Amino acid sequence: MKQSVPQTLKGFRDFLPEVMTVRNYVKNLLIETFETFGFEPLETPTLEYSSTLMGKYGDEADKLVYSFTDNGDRQIGMRYDLTVPTAKVLAMYNQQIPLPFKRYQIQPVWRAENTQKGRYREVLQCDIDIFGTSSPTADAEILAVINTVLQKLNFKSFTILINSRTVLNNILEACDITENKNSILQSLDKFGKIGEDGVTKELIIKNISKATITALFKYIKIAQPDEYLQSVIDQLKVLGVSENNYKFDPTVVRGLDYYTGPIFETIVTEPKIGSITGGGRYDNLIKTLGGPDTPAVGTTFGLDRIVDCITELNLLPNLPKTKTKILVANFGEETISESLKLVTELRNNNVASSFYPDADKLGKQFKYADSLGIPFVAIIGPDEVKNNQVTIKNMTTGEQKTINQSEVVKFLL
């Protein structure tokens, strides 16, 4: 039988421990911030009925949903985002969930994308949403969380671009655009990447008249926030968001069809990676899924893109390669019981510890600890057993120190 060559599917990735250390650092910082702002955790299934997912995102996004017929002849789809599945939860459990409901959710989603830098087919999304209120304060709080997270992650330069579907609808109405609205907005959504000339060329290809295109950019240039959006913006300063970190941008569209009010996304100047957060208000989605009329606003943090950014920009603190504090060496059968007792005592005292399973030469065990970034190695040989002691080797300095076993926990803490 021919041996296959192991490989990972295009658009999917394996994360080795060193990368997972960074990802977990960012994820834990997100969770800590979300909970500080009063958000509660939630999870939903990987698979949903296709009828739950399809028709909620728009024609272009619907094409990216992984869908199939399962063994029970059911039409199934894999999560495309976290918003629609959560809206389903609100529709199903509306009697059990007190409103307003502030939830966070961190789970992978799948999209049949054309892969490129910062765009993968499996990504870990980190969402926050507030359900059951139409107050502009809820929108402003979402923006304040974005600002807080990016500052904690040491981003020096980022901009939260803010717009509203109301502003966009007013622009289309002023231009007498009654047909091809979604198609025009899809082109306008590319403004940040291809500029006015690029959008103009694309609209011409779509047979939009030059007069309409001229009017479109005329009204974009004079557009102002609507009353609701202005209320959101007014509250940002009170919530501690610097004016340097956000900007009204009437060209921001957000491609998903379910948005109804304010929309926002965050960009960084470098690296050129697209938006790292995106969201908005979607007041009709839960009703569309058969639930009560429940307003909602939220955003997603693209953890994969954020990790790519902070790694490239070297924004991380000096994270240890491992959380393991000490490796307990294996000196052989003569002392293995004492070594296992020590590693158990360390763990009982919340000292992250690992035991080397084979009685290899100590040099090999030291090399192993060093390769993992474990800062200390504990050695119990016959002499240490006789004197109830432990020899501790500092892997950074090379220094060795013999202490009483009763002092090991205190030494490490």
The 10s digit of each residue's pLDDT in 339-357 is 999 999 999 999 999 999 9
Of 14-28, 150-164, 306-320, 393-407, the range with the lowest mean pLDDT is 306-320
What share of the chain in percent tops pLDDT 90? 69
For residue 260, is it within any domain? Answer: yes
| Same domain for 257 and 378 | no
Helix (H, G, I), strand (E, B) or coil at 57: coil
Same domain, 135 and 51: yes
Residue 312 pLDDT greater than 70, yes or no: yes
Residues 108 and 233 in one domain: yes
Nearest to 42 by CA among 79, 90, 110, 100: 90
pLDDT in tens, 142-176: 999 999 999 999 988 899 999 999 999 999 999 98
> Is residue 209 domain-resident?
no
- One domain, residues 261 and 389: no
C-beta of residue 186 within 8 angstroms of C-beta of residue 60: yes
pLDDT of residue 1: 64
**Mean pLDDT, the chain, whole residue set:** 92
Q: Which of 168, 151, 134 is nearest to 246 (CA)?
A: 151
**Per-residue model confidence (pLDDT) at position 413:** 85
Same domain for 45 and 150? yes
Q: Residue 4's pLDDT is what?
A: 81
CA 181 – CA 170 distance, rounded (Å): 12
Cα first-last separation, the chain: 54
Asked if residue 130 lies in contact with residue 142, where contact means CB atoms within 8 angstroms, the answer is yes
Average pLDDT over residues 112-119: 78
Query: Which of 312, 338, 362 is the endpoint of a domain?
Result: 312
Q: What is the pLDDT of residues 59-110, one digit of tens each?
A: 778 888 999 999 999 999 999 999 889 989 988 998 899 999 999 999 999 9
Do 39 and 111 belong to one domain? yes
Residue 270 in this model has a pLDDT that exceeds 80: no
Say how far apart CA 221 and CA 155 lie, in whole Å.
29
pTM of the predicted model as reported, rounded to 2 decimal places = 0.86
Domain-terminating residue out of 280, 312, 344: 312
Q: What is the DSSP letter of 79?
A: -
From 277, 312, 347, the end of a domain falls on 312
> What is the spatial distance between Cα 195 and Cα 217, in angstroms, rounded to a whole number?
11
Determine the angle formed by the axes of helices 181-188 and 210-222, rounding to 10 degrees. Answer: 60
Token digits of residue 210: 């030059």
Identify whether residues 110 and 135 lie together within a single domain: yes
State whether 123 and 21 are in the same domain.
yes
| Distance from C-alpha of 143 to C-alpha of 128, rounded to nearest angstrom | 11
Residue 215 is assigned to a structural domain of this protein: no
118 band by pLDDT with thresholds 50, 70 and 90: low
Q: Are residues 252 and 307 in the same domain?
A: yes
Give me the CATH number covering residue 32: 3.30.930.10
Q: Is residue 321 part of a domain?
A: no
Is residue 190 over pLDDT 90?
no
Residue 196 inside a domain? The answer is no
Average pLDDT over residues 373-378: 96
Spatial separation of the C-alpha atoms in residues 169 and 181, rounded to whole Å? 9
- Together in a domain, 40 and 153: yes
Which CATH number covers residue 385?
3.40.50.800
User: Which pLDDT band holds residue 244 (cuts at 50, 70, 90)?
Assistant: very high
Strand pairing report for 246-248 and 159-164: parallel
pLDDT of residue 94: 86
Spatial contact of 393 and 366, defined as CB atoms under 8 Å apart: yes
> Token digits for 156?
């020096």
- Asked if residue 317 is part of any domain, the answer here is no
Task: Say how many domains are in the chain.
Answer: 2
| 7 located within any domain | no
Domain with 331, as residue range(s), is 326-412
Q: Is there a single domain that holds both residue 343 and residue 282?
A: no
Q: Are residues 376 and 276 in the same domain?
A: no
In a domain, 272, yes or no: yes
